[in-house]
Amino acid sequence: MSQITTVPGTPMPPMVQVPLSPGMRPSGPPMPQQAFTPQDIIRMLKKRIWLIVIVAILVFVGSGVGTYFWAKYYPTYRATALVEVKSPNPPAPMEKQGQLPNKDIMEQHINTQARMIKAMGILNKALEDPVVRGTSWYQSFGNDVPKALLDMDERLAATPIRDTWFINVGFAWRHDGESAQIVNAILDQYLRRVSDASQGRSRTDLALYQRRAQELLSEISLKKAALARDRASYNIPVIERRQADVGAKVASLNELLEERLTGQEQAQSLYDMYHRPGAQTSMADTPEMRQAVDFDPLVRTYTAQLADARLNLETAREYRPKHGLTLQLERQIQTIERQLNARKSELLAENFRQMSERTQVELDGITREVISLQNRMVEAKHELDDLEAHMAKYRADERDIQNLEEQLATVNDHIMRLRIQQEDPELVRVSISRAERPLERSSPSFKVNLPAGLMLGLMLGVGFAFLLEFLSSTVKTPADVVRQLHLPLLGQVPSQEDDEASPEDMNKLLIESPHSILAESFRQLRTNFLFAGPPEQQRTVLVTSCSPEEGKTCIAVNLATSLALAGQKVLLIDANFRRPSAAEAFGLSDGQQGLSDILVGRASASNLIRPTQHDNLDVLPAGPLPPNPAELLGNDHLKGLLQELKGRYQTIILDGPPLLVVSDALVLATAVDTAILTIRAGHTARGAILRAREQLRRVNARLSGIVLNDVRITRGGYFRQMYRTYYEYHAPEGLLEKDGEEQPEAEEVKSE
């Protein structure tokens, strides 16, 4: 453990501790490891900042050196040319501009031309150019045409320029003049291909339209001949006149038929009126029937006689109401009335019969007339349909001839335009800006390679840092204990090498350097231990570790000293028969009698317990090494001894052997109230700690928590900020000094 500059002063304020529960018994498999937090990443980057910087510098320098030699021995010059792709729809002859295509169609056309520039046929033709064959690029392949063709395709780039009608064509080679020559040779072949394709397309279109014109002329001639024959055979003028006459006849018949149909409906209605049940009774009171009855001579005679008889009866009643003449007149009136009613009934019946017969005759007559008109209408319509069919065919033939003549005119117009376009320079829908000798090399570029090398170096450095962090399986920080092991943390002790105020003998730390951060860490360990569980469950404590060289004896000695300085009566027992060292920490010889003699019954504890320079702290050495340490510690003598010593001491601390090396530690763990596991930061693996926890669980031993020892105060380390805060707080004027000399480490910490 290294030195840290210190200045004596007031005690350090309490350090932030991980919350503790009152003791624990580990049980079950460990919980899954949690992901890195942003704080862990920042800590890791700070911790390995020099690795990241060195890797970044090495890659940066390497990229600079590589770029220099690359530029010196194998530079690349890119010659570029521009190809303007015009609209695929050429303007019509005597027009300045053709129809602009859709944007998507134009983009497809430009991309098609870019692919055509790199077509194997064009590249093959370019390789046949004597200028290309004379270049060092072609000669480097030793006349291996397929290999040269593949290399040309790889080096050649034809890229459409966004939002323009241009294609950027470039070729990269280490000789600037040859790059331009090769690009121009390729574009010459491309332009020849486009020109030939345009001329060939124009000639093909012209031949196609001329053939179509001949077909239309032949078809028009045939149509006109057939039309002349039809006109002669059908006598079209006569048909036209007859069509007009028949049309007028159909209209007249239709009007007359409508009138007759209306009359038929009326006759049918009248017929139905006279032939329905009870029609005679209901028709008796009609004006026609009353008129027929009233104008009958006999009815008129009976009516006059009835009127005279009634007048005579009225006169006779005035003078002789019951005279025989009166009675005779009454009988006469009755007789006349019967005769009158009988005559009226006869007349009504006769008139009804006559009217009924007349409606029948009228209905039959008008029905026959309607049928006749309908037949004539059908005949006229048939004749009209035949005439119209002949005329429709004739008119259709005329329209067909007219359409064919219009098509012929359109085809002739296209033929004229194509003949004009064959002489038009705009027929080739591309134009080329030839490549010139490049003024500077295209690659390598220091402006690109150096920043890229720096970025790559930083990424590699960070990647190596993360890789080292992930590959490391050791516990380094208090956060690792809680997050990865899920165990209570009783305390953390900084590395002795980082605290210059610490003494050479760590066992005398609390006496010789009471104001150092190391001493303060042991006082915090004491406080956390006292609150880790009920006092009756922490009377006997085993301090152990996973493996040797983790500082468990130092932890046991300083914890015992801290408890003694706090006023407790403490006994420190050296229970490590393999490598006893606790007694030597207080200047006692380990060759004397000790714990082993007590357990075999050769001595009593009161005779072998040795006092120390601390009034409240006694030590029991380990004694001679027995041949069977595990069996000796496993008998009931040890438990009885501890029970006896509890009456004299408040706390008994046993410095035991490592858990994973010998079985003695597990035997001791079953005899004490609780155990403390010491872990050396950056040294003890997580797997070893978990195995130690599992072994304690199997023997049903209680584990109070973990002590993280030898925590380094490095950049990104856990105690970095705490170290600076602690000594700045203790320094009277913020200066970290010792013996009148300013310490460089303190300056560095303060400057951060």
The answer to whether the beta carbons of residues 122 and 189 sit under 8 Å apart is yes
Report the chain's mean pLDDT, rounded to a whole number.
Answer: 76
Which of these ranges, 38-52, 268-282, 566-580, 718-732, has the smallest mean pLDDT?
A: 718-732
* Pairing status of strand 674-680 against strand 651-655: unpaired
Rounded Cα distance, 212 and 412, in Å:
9
Rounded Cα distance, 538 and 534, in Å:
7
Candidates 232, 348, 223, 210; CA nearest to 290 is: 348
Instruction: Region of 654 please: left (phi>0), alpha (psi -120 to 50) or beta.
Output: beta
Residues near 725 by beta carbon (within 8 Å), at least 6 away in sequence:
none
Q: What are the structure tokens assigned to 314, written together?
A: 């009225």
When mean pLDDT is compared over 196-200, 431-435, 573-577, 578-582, the highest value belongs to: 573-577
pLDDT mean over 149-174: 87
- Whether 4 shows a pLDDT value over 60: the answer reads no
Residue 59's identity, in one-letter code, is V
State yes or no: cis peptide before 444, omega within 30 of 0. yes
Which of these ranges, 290-299, 630-639, 672-681, 706-715, has the smallest mean pLDDT?
A: 290-299
Q: What are the structure tokens assigned to 163, written together?
A: 């939002």
When mean pLDDT is compared over 67-71, 310-314, 397-401, 651-655, the highest value belongs to: 651-655
Residue 649 — very low, low, confident or very high, per pLDDT cuts 50/70/90? very high
Residue 21 — very low, low, confident or very high, per pLDDT cuts 50/70/90? very low
Rounded Cα distance, 432 and 424, in Å:
17
Total Cβ atoms within 10 A of residue 580: 23
**pLDDT, tens only, 113-140:** 889 888 888 888 888 888 888 888 888 8
* Pairing status of strand 703-711 against strand 489-494: parallel
What was the pLDDT predicted at 653? 92
Helix (H, G, I), strand (E, B) or coil at 159: strand
Which of these ranges, 111-115, 362-366, 512-516, has the smallest mean pLDDT?
A: 512-516
Helix (H, G, I), strand (E, B) or coil at 77: strand
pLDDT mean over 515-536: 85
Strand positions, DSSP E, 514-569: 540-545
Helix (H, G, I), strand (E, B) or coil at 676: strand
- 3-state secondary structure labels for all residues of 404-431: HHHHHHHHHHHHHHHHHHCCCHHHCCEE
| Cα 362 to Cα 254, 257, 263, 283, 376, distances in angstroms | 21, 16, 10, 19, 21
pLDDT: which is higher, 543 or 333: 543
- Domains of the chain in start order, with CATH, are 238-415 (1.10.287), 478-712 (3.40.50.300)
Rounded Cα distance, 259 and 589, in Å:
153
pLDDT mean over 31-51: 69
Rounded Cα distance, 710 and 474, in Å:
13
Candidates 527, 530, 581; CA nearest to 552 is: 581
What was the pLDDT predicted at 654? 92
Q: Which helix (H) or strand (E) holds 288?
A: helix 287-294
What was the pLDDT predicted at 751? 33
Candidates 509, 527, 507; CA nearest to 518 is: 509
The percent of residues above 70 in pLDDT, for the chain, comes to: 78
Residue 650 — very low, low, confident or very high, per pLDDT cuts 50/70/90? very high
Residue 284 — very low, low, confident or very high, per pLDDT cuts 50/70/90? low
**pLDDT, tens only, 226-251:** 777 777 766 666 666 777 777 787 88
Q: What are the structure tokens assigned to 513, written together?
A: 């350097």
Candidates 2, 4, 1; CA nearest to 738 is: 4
pLDDT: which is higher, 586 or 419: 586
Q: What are the structure tokens assigned to 45, written together?
A: 């980057």
Q: Which helix (H) or strand (E) holds 142?
A: none
Rounded Cα distance, 543 and 558, in Å:
11
What was the pLDDT predicted at 745? 37
What was the pLDDT predicted at 676? 92
Q: What are the structure tokens assigned to 596, written together?
A: 């082993």
Instruction: Establish how many alpha carbons lie within 13 A of residue 679's alpha carbon, considering only the half-sphere containing its beta carbon.
Output: 30
The sign of the dihedral angle between the CA atoms of 109, 111, 117, 118 is: negative
